[in-house]
Amino acid sequence: MKEKLEALKVEALAKLQEVTDPQALNDLRVKYLGKKGELTEVLRGMGGLSAEERPVIGQVANLVRSAIEEIITAKQEAFQQQETLNRLQAEKVDVTLPGRALPQGGIHPLNRVVQEIEDIFIGMGYKVAEGPEVETDYYNFEALNLPKNHPARDMQDSFYLTEDLLMRTQTSPVQVRTMQAMKGETPVKIICPGKVYRRDDDDATHSFQFHQIEGLVIGSKIRMSDLKGTLNQFVKEMFGPATGIRLRPSFFPFTEPSVEVDVSCFKCGGDGCRLCKQSGWLEILGAGMVHPNVLRMGGYDPEKYSGFAFGMGVERIAMLKYGIDDIRYFYTNDMGFVKQFKGI
């Protein structure tokens, strides 16, 4: 039996040395070391050996098995290394080639204007406040001195969801919510950016959805001169240091007195041009002193406190600032239009 094992070892090692692929190697492993392999068949004859011969033959069998397993392991590692090298060769990347440049986006002009306005007012000590776009009739109208059936409501044709809920027509409700949250404490100094909705026909200057930024200041002895000084500083930072403002009397239910605010045309310097329709002035926002009724509904005593408010359309500011003549360009996802503002 010892001679059979030695002969099996020589045969197996010779055939394993000649193996050139993993499948043939596995076939030989099964042939010699499998449950029905040749080594197993030889060892089945150990039952006929004497007690003295069994340990000797067992030791020889283990040496044969170890020799066969050692060469099989070495061959497997060699095949795996070659496979790895082949994959690396097939999947290699030439890092000397130039990379593919990915397109870079830019900030949308409306977002850019909102950020610029926020930066200006934050620099003046204001905080940014936000509120829901689906608003109650109370906050959107009644708390702003617009009771039910008030004729001024006709100025804002609205999207009602229920009798009491609507898409907000202005960001002014955020002002009332902020006042109530402050519970009569001062100072209040906020701006309220956000989307608003009004039933309107889309054309070059109108949209059913647009953006507003409103501001509110409440404290003791707040005067119209404070409002004028604030807006004067804003337009100089927004449109240039040579820009001036003028106030024209107007009407808003939530402010008294109320004004329309114009800026001197920053394109012609006030001399008159196509942008300002030869007037030298551009209308940009509405403002005024907070109405006593609005102060009361916000939790403030109008005998002790006063304030001013203002509101502007972001699209209007952007159209003037960048010379855009159609509001619909902001919403058509035209990459040619948006790319014009990259890097500004």
Which uninterrupted H or E stretch holds 213?
strand 209-219
Whole-angstrom CA distances from 230 to 101, 236, 245, 261, 331 are 45, 10, 11, 12, 31
**Type of residue found at 133:** E
Instruction: Assess contact for 317 and 111: CB atoms under 8 A.
Output: no
What's the Cα-to-Cα distance from 193 to each of 5, 171, 175, 238, 342, rounded to whole Å? Answer: 90, 7, 11, 16, 23
Contact present, 152 and 253 (Cβ < 8 Å): yes
Is 256 part of any known ligand binding site?
A: yes
Q: How far apart are CA 152 and CA 250, in angstroms?
A: 13
Strands 209-219 and 306-313: what pairing? antiparallel
DSSP 85-104: HHHHHHH---TTSPPPPPPP
| DSSP run (H or E) holding 182 | helix 172-182
**Cα 342 from chain centroid (whole Å):** 18
The Cα–Cα gap between 2 and 130 comes to: 92
Q: Report d(CA 65, CA 238) in Å as an integer.
A: 88
Pick out the residues of the known binding site for Mg(2+): 256
Please report, in range form, the residues annotated as the binding site.
Answer: 256
